[in-house]
Amino acid sequence: MMFFTSTKSKWINFWWLLLCVAFQTPAQVTQTRRFEIPINQDFESYQIVPLDSSGIILYRNYTGPKENQLELLRVDTALNQVWKGFLPVAKDFSFASARESDGKVYFFFKGTPFNKGYLVLVVNVKDGSYFSIAIKNLIPFNATEFVASRGSILIGGYFNYRPIVLHYSMSTAKSRILPGFLNELGELIQLKTYSNGNVDVLISAKNSSRRKCIWIRHFDGNGDLLKTIILEPEENKHLIFGRAAKMVDDNQIIAGVYGRNSAYVRGVFVADVNVYGEYKIHYYNFADLKNFFHYLKAKREKRIKDRIERRKIKGKKIKFNYRLMVHELIPYNDQFIMLGEAFFPRYSNRSSSPMANSSYSPWTYGMQGPYYRVYGTDQVFDGYQYTHAVAIGFDKNANLIWDNSFEINGIKVNQLEQFVKIFPTKDHIVLAYIFENAIRTKIIKADQVIEGTAQNSIGTNDEKEVAHTQEGKLEYWYGNHFFVHGVQLVKNQNNTRRVFFITKLIAH
């Protein structure tokens, strides 16, 4: 059983009950409430699962001598504590990820090399009751993806560099490998679940012509294959990555990036797929986008656009090579918006003793990433530098309507993740991300900029306090609400405290 305290929290005294701190600029984003928990050590910090209008689940792992503990805490949308408890976790399982689905939160644990199964703890959001599921690993594979759908659990990963998806039925307590995989090398790019229990598995792999295609395999809730659609690009193009979204009439939009190789992309593609599997792919070179280069300084942007026009007049091909992650494809009014982020890897030089065979320069991979060795000098991977986010609007026929961009300054990380979030309102769209102790925003309306980049510090409910955010993330929540969470050092005249915090925000 889980052990609970069901009373409202008596030890959290930091809410914004009456005070609403608006941005100093006209950006229509407001900080409304705040929640704090004192912490001392790094391992005491929490991770979170947004629950839409049911609130937020906070969780953290504790290592014990005989068994581990998973601490859970649920707060409602007013950031008041609803319940708190602890779950026992066997020592031979390590936490991997958590997902919310249909009023439950699924905590996914991987087994050790000696215990190759999986453990899933299923927690009821309403009262914190739970049950556990032990899933046998029929084929030992490296699990990288985990989703929960109505009545089923899917675990995706790789076996011998080939994508694989395991389906577990909660009604029959049986697991099996979904058909259609394990044959070719490929990349598992999305497990997309739907409210009726169906799921799409998107794979990027090469066809017989050695061009990268996107396989879309549709499964029902029992794991039975309904149909397979293969998006095949035109000659000299590769479909490198994509995201799927369904329309009201069960047609699909698949949007992603294409290029000549898997490292760099030349532009974005959008495919509209009907219920019979018929499709048409639209390609948009980065040069076709109005605001893709707007993150650059004005003079440099003008030089690039002038060069594009000169090449168009001369009938020459326009080629730009970027690295672009596609994160989301969301419906908006009668459109779809694709959100992506551009980045590039940075390298630093590290001197080493000359090698006898210094002209030999293989790619090698260490614990911190790739480095390139040549003539006694190591080019060491030094993180991914983000440049800008791109929002692109398409109609239901995959035609480009508008595009806009949002410059990203100062962010460099060792592992790629999504920073910019998109908050569509009735009249405009808010783009936002966190950097250090500030929320940076930009408000757009299609290809127009309603308000340029603005920022405001993430403060506390006391004007005399100064907060420094050490770790901060921006998360979607419900409706036009979102929140920031992380770790802060808060200083006042008398002392300094370290806290885990949640700040609730509204996009107007």
> Average pLDDT of the chain?
86
pLDDT of amino acid 396:
86
pLDDT of amino acid 377:
58
Is the separation of the CB atoms in 104 and 75 below 8 Å? no
Structure tokens at 503: 């700040």
- What single DSSP character describes residue 397? T
pLDDT of amino acid 214:
96
- Spatial separation of the C-alpha atoms in residues 30 and 459, rounded to whole Å: 12
Query: String of b and e for 83-92 (b: at least 16 CB within 10 Å)?
Result: bbbebebeeb
- Spatial separation of the C-alpha atoms in residues 361 and 352, rounded to whole Å: 14
The torsion of the CA quartet 359, 364, 368, 372, rounded to 10 degrees, works out to 30
- Spatial separation of the C-alpha atoms in residues 463 and 459, rounded to whole Å: 8
- Spatial separation of the C-alpha atoms in residues 382 and 362, rounded to whole Å: 18
Amino acid 388 reads H
pLDDT of amino acid 41:
77
pLDDT of amino acid 257:
96
Is the separation of the CB atoms in 343 and 385 below 8 Å? yes
Amino acid 273 reads V
- What single DSSP character describes residue 54? G
Structure tokens at 471: 């770790």
- Spatial separation of the C-alpha atoms in residues 164 and 180, rounded to whole Å: 9
Radius of gyration of the chain measured on its C-alpha atoms:
24
- Spatial separation of the C-alpha atoms in residues 221 and 167, rounded to whole Å: 9
Amino acid 471 reads E
Count of CB atoms within 10 A of residue 322's CB? 19
- Spatial separation of the C-alpha atoms in residues 321 and 285, rounded to whole Å: 10
- Spatial separation of the C-alpha atoms in residues 322 and 306, rounded to whole Å: 19
Is the separation of the CB atoms in 31 and 24 below 8 Å? no
- Spatial separation of the C-alpha atoms in residues 46 and 36, rounded to whole Å: 11
Ranges of the chain whose pLDDT falls below 50: 1-26, 353-375
Amino acid 474 reads L
Q: Cβ-count burial of 26 within 10 angstroms (0-12 exposed, 13-18 middle, 19+ buried)?
A: exposed
How would you classify residue 189: left for phi > 0, otherwise alpha for psi between -120 and 50, otherwise beta?
Answer: alpha
pLDDT of amino acid 352:
53
Lookup result for tokens 């707060």? 75
Is the separation of the CB atoms in 187 and 163 below 8 Å? yes
User: Sheet of 93-101: strands edge to edge?
Assistant: 93-101, 104-111, 118-124, 130-135
pLDDT of amino acid 508:
80
- Spatial separation of the C-alpha atoms in residues 252 and 239, rounded to whole Å: 17
Is the separation of the CB atoms in 358 and 375 below 8 Å? yes
pLDDT of amino acid 316:
87
pLDDT of amino acid 249:
78
pLDDT of amino acid 150:
86
